[in-house]
Amino acid sequence: MNTLRASYSIDPIVLRRFNETIPSRERSKVVQNLMEQALLARETALEQLAEELESHPDFAAVRETARAFEVLAADGLEGI
């Protein structure tokens, strides 16, 4: 697996505690796991919002407007 180095600003107290608690050989993996968890949480939240937008009756007018816009946006542009 290819890896990249990155630089982030982290509160000094948190960084010191992290470095004191997590052995150096495990730090990158722990940070990667935390990033993956954060990404999954954000993606899940966005998927739930999209599902609500697509199914909740309160957003029916928004869906109709979006459909009409898609038809207009594609008008005459197919095959270009």
User: What gap in Å lies between CA 43 and CA 45, rounded to an integer?
Assistant: 5
CB within 8 Å of 54: residues ≥ 6 apart: 63
| Inside any domain, residue 6 | no
| Inside any domain, residue 80 | no
Q: Is the pLDDT of residue 79 over 70?
A: no
pLDDT digits (tens, 9 = 90+) for 7-55: 999 999 999 999 999 999 999 999 999 999 999 999 999 999 988 888 8
The dihedral through the CA atoms of 29, 34, 39, 40 has a sign that is positive
- pLDDT band (50, 70, 90) for residue 80: low
Q: Look up tokens 């982290």; give the residue.
A: 10
| Inside any domain, residue 7 | no
pLDDT digits (tens, 9 = 90+) for 51-74: 888 888 888 888 888 888 888 777
| Inside any domain, residue 31 | yes
Residue 24: the pLDDT is 97
Please report, for residues 36, 62, 80, the alpha-carbon distance to residue 43 in angstroms, rounded to integers and kept in the order given. Answer: 10, 22, 33
| Inside any domain, residue 36 | yes
Give the number of domains in the chain: 1
| Inside any domain, residue 37 | yes
- pLDDT band (50, 70, 90) for residue 76: low
| Inside any domain, residue 79 | no
